Amino acid sequence: MKRIIKVQKMLLEKINSYEGLGEDREYPLDFERIHMASGTGIGHMLAIIRGTDPELTSLACALHDFGRIVTGLQKDHANSAYQPLKEFLTEIGGFNDEEIEIIALAAKNHSSKDSVGTPLEEIVKDADVFDCWQYGIPMTRPEQLKRLEALIQELKPTV
Ligand SMILES: [Fe+2]
């Protein structure tokens, strides 16, 4: 079984653990589940198009909002992912230190939509805005819209 299945299963269990706690969450747990799964698929396709490692890229996409999942907060959720995500991946097992660092850094950097990171990080950011857009999540920051427009242009076949 591929690691992406195991990681999504473990992340679903993590999300489920917050069910019924009565906390105020900025994003519903159902959105976290849906966004995890569909963002992962978008990331996998973009990895093939752009030539990054599809598994590592889709793993980073699956986990990019880990900070919001564990804190319930949108504010600073990218930064707050870094350490807990490293611990989560270490607990799951089957990842080397370099892979853990790449995935945790992609989560940490994914909110910087106006700067350019590694090709894998760029896919995480693009898959994030594309996935939010398809569900009608409001995107007010100009850099998010710019990124979305560029991605849509990239995906359109050239004649
Ligand atoms: Fe996201």
pLDDT per residue as tens digits for the range 21-76: 877 899 999 999 999 999 999 999 999 999 999 999 999 999 999 999 999 999 99
Token couple for 97: 């230190």
Number of domains in the chain: 1
Closest listed residue to residue 123, CA positions, set 24, 55, 32, 74: 55
For residue 65, the CA-to-ligand 1 centroid distance in Å is 5
* Per-residue model confidence as pLDDT tens digits over 130-154: 999 999 998 889 999 999 999 999 9
pTM score, whole prediction: 0.95
For residue 1, the CA-to-ligand 1 centroid distance in Å is 25
Residue 56 near residue 43, CB atoms below 8 Å: no
For residue 96, the CA-to-ligand 1 centroid distance in Å is 24
For residue 159, the CA-to-ligand 1 centroid distance in Å is 32
For residue 70, the CA-to-ligand 1 centroid distance in Å is 13
- Can you tell me the distance from the alpha carbon of 38 to that of 61, in angstroms, rounded to the nearest whole number? 9
Domain around 96: 3-155
For residue 128, the CA-to-ligand 1 centroid distance in Å is 5
Check which CATH number belongs to the domain holding 138 and give it. Answer: 1.10.3210.10
